[in-house]
Structure formats: C-alpha cells, structure tokens
C-alpha cells in the first residue's frame, strides 16, 4: 500500500511539474536563444473542455502529500 502511494505521488508530481513548465517556458525555449521570447498561453478549445495545466500547483501539493503519507505508512520497510 505504501509503495503504491509513493508511485502515485511521484506520477502526480511529474504531471504537476509538466503542467507548471508548460505555462512558464517560452515557446522556443530549447530551439533558439533570442532575447525576444514568445510565451504561449494554453487555453481550452471550447467551453466544455478542461485546461489541465490549471491544476499544476494543487497537483504539486497532492503529490507531495501522497509521498509523505506513503513514507510514514511504510515505515522502515
């Protein structure tokens, strides 16, 4: 059970880091090194779709909590 919580927590943390980076990095961050950086705003295509990048910080907190719970439940195993 504790290993499953740690694995799920790590996956949630990876998602959170990707969501935060998707909103904060410039569009051509790794392709060019110009001083005129262009930032892209990710918006949903229509009103019924969900913008999953909005949940970056809550997912970061949830992932850290899941890992902490997994560490405390697991003990020294």
How confident is the model over 40-70, as pLDDT tens digits?
566 666 666 666 777 888 999 999 999 999 9
Residue 21's domain spans which residues? 2-74
d(CA 11, CA 6): 9
For residue 29, what pLDDT band results from cuts at 50, 70 and 90? low
Nearest Cα neighbor of 44 from 55, 57, 53, 33 is 53
Mean pLDDT, residues 1-25 taken together: 88
Report the number of distinct structural domains present in the chain: 1
Give the residue with greater pLDDT, 41 vs 20: 20
What per-residue confidence (pLDDT) applies to 62?
94
Q: What is the pLDDT of residue 56?
A: 87
**Percentage of the chain modeled with pLDDT above 90:** 35
Does residue 37 have a pLDDT over 60?
A: no
């Amino acid at each position: 059970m504790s290993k499953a919580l740690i694995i799920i927590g790590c996956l949630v943390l990876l998602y959170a880091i990707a969501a935060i980076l998707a909103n904060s990095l410039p569009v051509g961050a790794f392709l060019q090194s110009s001083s005129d950086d262009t930032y892209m705003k990710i918006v949903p295509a229509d009103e019924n779709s969900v913008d999953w990048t909005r949940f970056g910080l809550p997912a970061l907190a949830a992932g850290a909590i899941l890992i902490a719970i997994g560490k405390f439940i697991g003990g020294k195993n």
